[in-house]
A and B are shown apart, each in its own frame.
Chain A
């Protein structure tokens, strides 16, 4: 088991660290990323839970900010997509879209394989966690986008479209793997006569339908279409107020993101106690798997023609794990899967890792593969 993380670290980071200047650049990048309001608010949330502090964000406010963030990402994404299509047709978009779909299908498989065959976790647990890692976190997108803008390397404008594309295939594929392999295992047990109770019919279709029509997708994809259509058919003056309200480079988006991350820090802080329960393998998984997926994101993004910011953001969203859309879907189809593993990994390990260290690392990875 130990050789695996060791080789991963060697493969991923030695090229980066071989050059002494690279190391300094990573540290500088980390400082630039960590000492900014958004990650610091997250840290404040964690500290607050540890010292039993009294910050309490109303649930409805958190819920409302989530709605605004999702609508903004979709709306501005659709707007920029319209501009991109007007300027270049689909020539600049089809490759990134294809690459995103490919990675969306690949990441649940790699995650499942690592968990099941390297970590020895049960089929249900492996598939459940893989469903989280195959999907994406829109908040991670927002933070990554913020980062690349601060470093004056804004991502390609149509990136929100890729976020939307990344949401569903991962969950679906992981659940299908889980359902298929569970059924095989059950059949084998039945043949061997060791099966006890009769099996409940699968809720896979229902769960997938709920993912496709869930809040994240409906808001992001829906507003994407709305932003796209409005940009095409509305005059600029009429469109401006909508753009001003939703724009992701604006103070409203960034400010609300701070409040949102404060609450996420509170939630993640509560879950820190669960780290003891999940064990060292999952902790290592929560850090190393995103690095691997992130590298794939940066590399394929560059191959597809994304700029430096675009590759960084793509790496960030491919490496991120969903913790809103995935958990209910997994709970319905793979109830034997233990949510403590998946949610702790996604929320208490991968999300903080990405926010603090991952995003700057993906930035350096993107530079290393040659993106500009």
Chain B
């Protein structure tokens, strides 16, 4: 079985901004993403405004190449770190048939 080394970009933050980040991630070259509702607490939790019925926090994940990962992290830190409740990190993953996830180069 062939495993391909890629990067996992994870962003956890207030629901309001997650869809924007997801869309921008696609524009920057990710071929997809997953979004889950989470329960949690952070230093800026009080800034989450909850919609009726929606979770206040969401986790967004992209599996992308290293360059796209850096682009996404740069976008998130420049646009959201200042005012929104948000954290982002990078981890290494080995993906089955990972060549598909290289995205637009």
Contacts and interface: CB of A to CB of B under 8 A. Distances in A.
Interface of A: 59-60, 62-63, 66, 197, 200, 215, 274, 324, 327-328, 330-332, 335-336, 338-340, 343
Contacts of A327: 49
A338 B45 CA distance: 11
A66 B52 CA distance: 8
Interface string B81-93: 0111000000000
B51 A324 contact: yes
Contact of B53 (A62, A328, A336, A339): A62
B46 interface: yes
A339 B52 contact: no
A331 B52 contact: no
Interface string B38-61: 000000001111011100000000
Q: Which residue, A66, A328, A330, has most C-beta atoms of chain B within 10 A? A: A328
Given A200-B79, A328-B16, A343 B53 contact: no
B83 A343 contact: no
13 contacts: A60-B53, A62-B53, A63-B53, A66-B53, A324-B51, A328-B51, A335-B82, A335-B83, A338-B47, A339-B47, A340-B46, A340-B47, A343-B49
A332 B16 contact: yes
B49 A328 contact: yes
Contacts of A332: 16
A63 B49 contact: no
Q: Which 7 A-B pairs have the closest CB atoms?
A: A335-B83, A63-B53, A327-B49, A340-B46, A339-B49, A331-B49, A59-B53
A356 B91 CA distance: 53
A274 B46 CA distance: 10
Interface of B: 14, 16, 46-49, 51-53, 79, 82-84
Q: Which one of B46, B47, B48, B52 has the greatest number of beta carbons of chain A within 10 Å?
A: B52
Nearest to A338: B47
A61 to B, nearest CB: 10
Contacts of A60: 53
Contacts of B49: 327-328, 330-331, 339, 343
A327 B49 CA distance: 6
Contact of A339 (B46, B51, B79, B82): B46
A232 to B, nearest CB: 32
A208 to B, nearest CB: 15
A18 to B, nearest CB: 43
A59 B52 CA distance: 8
Nearest to A340: B46
A302 B17 CA distance: 44
A343 B82 CA distance: 21
B54 to A, nearest CB: 9
A339 B46 CA distance: 7
A215 B51 CA distance: 10
Of B47, B79, B84, the most chain A CB neighbours within 10 A belong to: B47
